[in-house]
Amino acid sequence: MNELITRKTQFIHLGLIDYQQAWDYQASLFSKILEVKKVNRELPADQQKPTDNFLIFCEHPHVYTLGKSGDEANLKIKKNDLHAIQATYVHTNRGGDITYHGPGQIVGYPIVDLENFFTDIHKYMRLLEESVIQTLQEFGIKACRIAGMTGVWLDGDDESRARKICALGVKTSRWVTMHGFAFNVNTDLNYFKHIIPCGIDDKAVTSMEFELGKKQDIRMIEEILKAKLIHLFELELK
């Protein structure tokens, strides 16, 4: 194997953290990886350095985030009224439309150089989805994908019952990734009433707590999800 290719990955749990603060932290890691790749292009092979990979888990206080090509009209609450529900709003540089982040949701940010794994964004997205699908299987919840839509769904083959349990939105540059997924575990679903989630107005949103009828142990679910990601991406945790 090329000595520059490494699947060694540092896992970082940021706990409950402001969205902008987490975004800035992601961006700093993302930029450092890109800088290494830029410098490597100017160096002979024996002087080039391997790039780092990171897997970040966290939760955010109530916040609505809009993707770079999203429609702000999908935020149904006036910005001036956000303080009344203790929420904020951020326009981000990820793909996708509008979504909600809040306590009780596992937010995952893989900051990885896909040249260490595979150069296929479609495969990357599908493996993120698969990690959540396999995690839900451990709790007897059958999840799936819907053709043409990102994310993880329940009852995806029934238009009247389909509901999303995990949203995805990423940014990539020179095969380096940032942003990621938001997996509803004990999420307050009432906050989704103030948006058209992901710009899709004919499908519902759900959580593990709602589906199973009781609050879940989010730390345990994080460990299961982390194990699925390690297996599917063949990560080597530092």
Mean of pLDDT values over 203-218: 97
Q: Is the pLDDT of residue 237 over 70?
A: yes
CA angle 180, 69, 203 (to 5 degrees): 70
Active site residues: 198
Q: Domain of 126?
A: 8-237
Place of tokens 């699947």: 7
200 confidence band (pLDDT: 50, 70, 90): confident
Residue 183 lies in a domain: yes
Q: Is 141 helix (H, G, I), strand (E, B) or coil?
A: coil
In the chain, how many domains are there?
Answer: 1
pLDDT in tens, 57-101: 999 999 999 999 899 999 999 999 999 999 999 999 999 999 999
- The whole-angstrom separation of Cα 98 and Cα 71 is 8
In a domain, 2, yes or no: no
- pLDDT one-digit tens code per residue, 102-159: 999 999 999 999 999 999 999 999 999 999 999 999 999 999 999 999 999 999 999 8
Does residue 201 surpass a pLDDT of 80?
no
CATH code at position 154: 3.30.930.10
